[in-house]
Amino acid sequence: MFPVAAEFLPIVRLSLVVSGTAVLISSSIGVPCGVWLGLSRWRGRRAIAVMIHTGMALPPVVIGLLLYLLLSRSGPLAFLGWLFTPEAMIAAQTILALPFVIGITVSSVAAVPTELGSQIKSLGASDWQCRWTILREARRGVWLAVAAAFGRSLSEVGAVLIVGGNIQGHTRVLTTAIILETSKGRFEFALALGAVLLLVALLVNALILRLQENRWVA
């Protein structure tokens, strides 16, 4: 194996594992929450929506700092032993991606005509079947939410740097490696890492677009 590839591959692999897991967790929580919020009509819904949209603008370094304080030796979550581990990085990216998944899912579900729900029910759909069908109709938006969450996770640097520590072979991902290599003056290597980052984002988004276009049977 080429020495550069040997240096590259663990970083790329960890980036995919951390961001992929964070997107999986945030989607598992965010899509059901988004569907529920998108279909519900209670009073506090607007306030929740404002909070979610604010969450989309959360600075990653602030999340990183808060999570660092929670996970540090004197913090309430110290018993987890997650500080400077991939688990802490996944937690940080999940928190950052979650508002994107919920917010975009809410908008997509709310864009489905309200009348469709009663028409589906009049064909004999149970409440769950009704929700599933509406989610199916909003699927393009939901996949967009997943793509946005992945983009946010993969390109984020502040939070993973604080809670991960950028430890070689342990918590070093593409973005933190780019910062390190730039500070060391290895611009060619940093640029190559940047190109890999873009390529990974391109491939994942192409996959998501493909899923967006596929028929999703209710």
Partner 1 sequence: MGRMTDDCLYRLADVRKDYESFTLHIGNLDVHGGEVLGLLGPTGAGKSTLLRLLAGLCRADQGDLGFERRAFASGDVALPVRRRITLVHQRPLLLSGTVRFNVEYGLRLRGRKQIAETGNAMLERLGLSKLARQSALTLSGGQTQLVALARALVIEPEVLLLDEPTAHLDPAHVARVEETIREVRQERRMTVVWATHNLFQARRVADRAALLLNGQLVEAVSTEQFFSNPSDPRTDDFVQGRMVY
Interface residue with partner 1 among 113, 170, 184, 213 (CB under 8 A) is: 113
* Residue 59 makes contact with partner 1 by CB under 8 A: no
* Residue 40 makes contact with partner 1 by CB under 8 A: no
Interface residue with partner 1 among 26, 133, 166, 176 (CB under 8 A) is: 133
* Residue 35 makes contact with partner 1 by CB under 8 A: no
* Whether 136 contacts 218, CB under 8 Å: yes
Alpha-carbon distance of 61 to 88, in angstroms, equals 14
Helix axes 174-183, 3-39, angle to 10 degrees: 130
For the chain, the farthest-separated pair of C-alpha atoms sits apart, in whole angstroms, at 66
* Residue 111 makes contact with partner 1 by CB under 8 A: no
Two structure tokens written together for 73: 């030796």
Interface residue with partner 1 among 124, 169, 183, 185 (CB under 8 A) is: 124
| DSSP strands (E only) in the chain | none
Interface residue with partner 1 among 23, 92, 125, 190 (CB under 8 A) is: 125
Write down the H helix ranges in 111-186. 114-121, 127-137, 139-155, 158-164, 174-183
* Residue 211 makes contact with partner 1 by CB under 8 A: no
Half-sphere exposure of 140 (CA within 13 A, CB side): 4
What residue type is assigned to position 125 of the chain? A
* Residue 74 makes contact with partner 1 by CB under 8 A: no
Interface residue with partner 1 among 53, 136, 155, 211 (CB under 8 A) is: 136
Query: Which of 160/208 has CB closer to partner 1?
Result: 208
* Residue 129 makes contact with partner 1 by CB under 8 A: yes
Alpha-carbon distance of 108 to 134, in angstroms, equals 10
* Residue 115 makes contact with partner 1 by CB under 8 A: yes
* Residue 41 makes contact with partner 1 by CB under 8 A: no
Residues contributing to the site for partner 1 (CB under 8 A)? 113, 115-116, 118-119, 121-126, 129, 133, 136-137, 215, 217-218
